[in-house]
Amino acid sequence: MASQQQEALTEQPSGLRRRVWCRGCQRELTDPESRARGWGSECDPDYRTRLERRDVDQDPIPGL
């Protein structure tokens, strides 16, 4: 009797991407840059890569 063995899956199927979670909060990452780093934008310990926006009140430019 011939034994039938299932072929080992060494690579993930095409069209699917590997799921990556944040190292800090454990949420799934969707942004390609965050996925590469392994940190979400809120949890990233490197302050240079955080996506913070600081709005500053400014006076209007004279003449415009």
DSSP annotation string for 25-53: T-PBP-SHHHHHHT--TTT-S-GGG----
pLDDT of residue 22: 93
Please indicate, yes or no, if residue 8 is contained in any of the structural domains: no
Give the phi and the psi of residue 48 in degrees, each rounded to 5. -70, -20
Please indicate, yes or no, if residue 3 is contained in any of the structural domains: no
Residue 22, domain extent:
18-44
pLDDT of residue 20: 92
Please indicate, yes or no, if residue 24 is contained in any of the structural domains: yes
Please indicate, yes or no, if residue 11 is contained in any of the structural domains: no
Number of domain units in the chain: 1
pTM of the model: 0.49
Q: Is residue 1 over pLDDT 60?
A: no
Please indicate, yes or no, if residue 6 is contained in any of the structural domains: no
Please indicate, yes or no, if residue 39 is contained in any of the structural domains: yes
Please indicate, yes or no, if residue 53 is contained in any of the structural domains: no
Residue pLDDT, tens place only, 10-57:
666 666 778 999 999 999 999 888 898 898 888 888 766 555 666 778
The DSSP secondary-structure symbol of 24 reads: T
- Tokens describing residue 44: 């990233």
The DSSP secondary-structure symbol of 11 reads: S
